[in-house]
Amino acid sequence: MTTSPSLTTPSARLGAGTPRLSLNRWSLRTTPLQEFLEATTARGIDAVGLWRQDIAEVGLDALRRRVDDAGLRVSSLCRGGFLTASVEADRAEALADNRRAIDETAALGAPTLVMVVGGITQEDKDLAAARARVTESIAMLAPYAKSAGVTLALEPMHPMFAADRAVLSTLGQALDVAEASGSDAVGVIVDTYHVWWDPALEQSIARAGAGGRLLSYQVCDWNLPLAADPLFSRGYMGDGFIDFPSITRMVTAAGYTGDIEVEIFNEDVWATPADESAKIIAERFEQLVLPHA
């Protein structure tokens, strides 16, 4: 399959182009990969956030080629992490897999690998110990990332995922882990869905910026009622309760000038035709985020 020449012709674009916007692959998860890349380019969006699932689907080299052919940049690769295992063999396997993910990030030309650090188990509920293992493992991975020219973006996740997905629950805590690595290759990602509620948000974003550790900014809304799977309650900006102008101003004040990824996991969005949801995403981004970035 080759990309249509019209895709790189500005006159064929549906939108005038939206600076700063990167479209995360999972926002259009049910759209076939090539169609996703084409819908992105057609809308005048010039960056995408990709997943290791995309690599598994078409292969690393082919994925890089498709992205290049579409004239797109890769703003991040999702995801490394899952570093909380207490059994040594499991931990070694997780570290090896994270090194592969770092290599893949570099091969895609993406600056950063998003890290979802993992949760706890009912057999071992010691949160503090799990958090300490994450700190240690991140410090072990940092030199490898540094030499690959890739940064590790620690993602504090909403505390409702503390048991099953990520024991990093606040931006301040993620910064503690990043700083403990002793490496400038480790930083944090600010995802509005996960951190919007944090009373210390403004200070923590400023701290991330001041320390050169604000690596990525992802946006989507907090929709209520929560979806049956709370991962899927991420909404189009403006549909929920998040104050995007305020948070975007904090990120801007902290000096962030990079891509802003729209990452929506939502069954209704996934049921919408790709060009329509890409249009809504670009419009909401231009209304609620871009003026403050």
Kindly list the residues in this chain that would bind a second copy in the complex (CB under 8 A).
120, 122, 125-128, 131, 158-160, 162-164, 169-170, 172-173, 196-199, 222, 224-226, 228-230, 240-243, 246
Q: CA 34 to CA 87: how far, in whole Å?
A: 40
Q: How far is the CB of 289 from a second copy (least distance, A)?
A: 14
CB nearer to a second copy: give 60 or 290: 290
Q: How far is the CB of 33 from a second copy (least distance, A)?
A: 29
CB nearer to a second copy: give 102 or 254: 254
In Å, what is the CA distance from 41 to each residue of 1, 4, 48, 57, 288?
Answer: 16, 11, 10, 21, 21
Q: How far is the CB of 80 from a second copy (least distance, A)?
A: 21
Burial class (CB in 10 A: 0-12, 13-18, 19+), 92: exposed
User: Checking phi first, is residue 156 left (phi over 0); if not, alpha (psi -120 to 50) or beta?
Assistant: beta
Q: How far is the CB of 20 from a second copy (least distance, A)?
A: 22
Burial 48-80 (b: 16+ CB within 10 A, else e): bbbbbebbeeeeeeebbebbebbebebbbbbbb
CB nearer to a second copy: give 39 or 189: 189
Q: How far is the CB of 268 from a second copy (least distance, A)?
A: 17
